[in-house]
Amino acid sequence: MSETIFGKIVAGELPADSVYEDELCMAIRDKFPTAPHHYLVIPKKPIPKLCDAGPEDQALLGHLMLVANQVAAQQGIGEAFRLVVNNGADAGQSVFHLHVHVIGGRSLSWPPG
C-alpha cells in the first residue's frame, strides 16, 4: 500500500492536510496548488493509473467523483471547478496512485495543456 507518497499518506505514515476522509478515500490539500483551491481525492485502494482500474472499481470511481463534488462544496469553491485525472507520465501524472484533482477559486482557461 505505501509504495507511493499517497499510499504513505493513506496509511498514516506521512502527514497531510486532510479535508475529508471515509472508508474508501481521502481528500487533501495539494502541496503545490495551481489555484486558490486545489485538493486531491485519493482512493485508499492503490490503483496506479485510471487505465489500471477494472470493472470491480466502478463504484469506487463513482464515489471519487461524488467526494470531489462534496469537497468543492465544503471548501467553498462553489459550482465552478475543474476535475483532472492525469493518466500516465506523458499526461502529467507524477505519482502513480490514482487521484482526482479538484481545482477552483479562479477563472480556469481552456485548453489546460
Long-range contact set of residues 27-34: C-beta below 8 Å, sequence gap at least 24: 27/67, 27/68, 27/71, 27/102, 30/101, 34/103
Amino acid symbol at 56 = E
Phi, psi of 107 (to 5 degrees): -70, 130
Kindly give the residue spans of alpha helices, DSSP state H, lying in 12-85.
Answer: 58-74
Calculate the CA dihedral of residues 15, 19, 24, 30 and round it to 10 degrees: -60
Which residues carry out catalysis? 99
